[in-house]
Structure 1
Amino acid sequence: MPFHTFPRQLLVVTLLAGALAPAARAQAVPSKLVTPFGPPRKHYMFAQKEVDCPVVANVTKNTDEDADVSGSYTKVCYRSPAEMLLEINELRKIHTWADSTYERRLAALPPGGALVITIHRQGPKGADPAYLFCTAKTKDGQEILKDYNLKPGTGRFFGRDLYQTQQLVPFPKVDPANWPIAFTINDSRLRQLFEYTLAPPAN
């Protein structure tokens, strides 16, 4: 099941318009709120690349068919600065933005691109992104994101009792020598930890 259910342009309009809060909003929270208490997720013997986003590889098994059944579907896709800039330029042609609008959109672009987080959870309250805390470390162990708490929100109905939410996580610029990146999502409601590896982007 593909995890991008929105057209790319709609995704950009929806997410870039209000989701690119400054990285300063990331907040450290008490560890008891973000430490997983549930049973650990199974790991692949070898990290599995995402078909639609090969920069991202799943370390924990969160792509199984039963992920939607259990309401634990949690996917990540990396958007490079060049890709996001290209889409903004295309949207400018479509919407004939004023120069001030275009400059504001450019200023909102995160320097290192962004991660698109997509979750399917059971019930509308379960799909609140505020349950998610993200941490990213470079290959030398430097934390470039620490317990980054996603903004509160509600999901849209996806099917059965599942609700889907997508949100952008602004990514800091990282020297190419410090890739790959270890990225984790801690769901404090499910009490589960989802682990990923981000390979160096092509641009």
Structure 2
Amino acid sequence: MSTSSRVLRHWLALTLLSLFAASTAVAQPTGKAAKGRKRYTFAQRDALSPYVQNVTKNTDEEQDVDGSFTRLGYRPYTELLTEIEALRKLHSWADTTYQRRLAAIPPGGVLLVTIHRQGQKNAELGNLTVTATSKDGKEVFAQTLAPGSGRFFGRDLYQAQRAIPFPKMEPQELNVSIRDAKLYQTFDYTLTLPAAQ
């Protein structure tokens, strides 16, 4: 084998290797998404939902930096039932209306997902997957949200919300993560399910 053919083969191998490396670099997320979101040393209780603690930093200041804010809330069955009872008295519902509303309450309560994103296309709920795991790592709930876009929230931010029926479970602490496939980010939370009253 001549020296020129060896050099040519070596050059081709290096060219293919560099092209492969370049295509891999393009596919990887960059910036803050590549590094992941910052985490609290100790989980922080959510201001709006007493059952949820934020594990990843997810504040209004973070929203101003990268335009992504995701909040998880939880409303148990008993709270939803109390709300239906109050509305029944306020609106003087007929029994059929009350029974229909009562039957629509999920037995395990609801998870409330709220997102703020820059640009209307980024506030697409279909990009989110919610996964809950028990303390031993067993997956107990997983759902990719149905498509739905957001409304204008202010400046260049759009807001989208979704209530997700949650299955009835024993009182326990769950790890919940919301993965945004478009931003390559995962938002982590701790959810404490209350005892049924």
Q: TM-score range by the shorter chain?
A: 0.7 to 0.9
User: What secondary structure, in the 3-state scheme, does the structure 1 residue paired with 2:80 have?
Assistant: helix
- Structure with greater helix share of residues: 2
Structure 1 residue aligned with 2:158 = 163
Query: What is residue 139 of structure 1 aligned with on the other side?
Result: 135
Please give the alpha-carbon distance, in whole angstroms, between the structure 2 residues aligned to 1:110 and 1:193.
Answer: 26
Distance 1:183 1:58 in 2: 10
What does residue 185 of structure 2 align with? 192
Q: Shift in Å at residue 64 of structure 1?
A: 5.0
In 1, Cα distance between the equivalents of 2:96 and 2:121? 37
Question: Is 1:102 aligned with 2:98?
Answer: yes
- SS of aligned partner of 2:182: coil
Stretches of structure 2 lacking an aligned partner (at least 5 in a row): 1-27
CA contact (8 A) 1:77 1:115 kept: yes
Between the aligned partners of 1:202 and 1:68, the Cα distance in structure 2 is: 37
**What residue is the counterpart of 1:92 in the other structure?**
88
Residue 6 of structure 1 aligns with which residue? none
- Cα distance in 2 between the residues matched to 1:149 and 1:101: 31
Q: Deviations 1:51-103 (Å, cap 9, x if unpaired)?
A: 22221111111125132442211011110110011111222223333322222
CA RMSD in angstroms comes to: 1.8
| Structure of greater Rg | 2
Aligned residues: 165
Q: What is the TM-score when the length of structure 1 is the normalising length? A: 0.75
Partner of 1:11: none
Distance 1:170 1:104 in 2: 16
Q: Which structure exhibits the higher relative contact order, with contacts defined as CA atoms closer than 8 Å and separated by 6 or more residues?
A: 1
TM-score (norm 2): 0.77
AA aligned opposite 1:197: T
Contact 1:137 1:145 in 2 (8 A): yes
Q: Deviations over 1:23-65 (max 9, x none)?
A: xxxxxxxxxxxxx954221111111111222211111111251
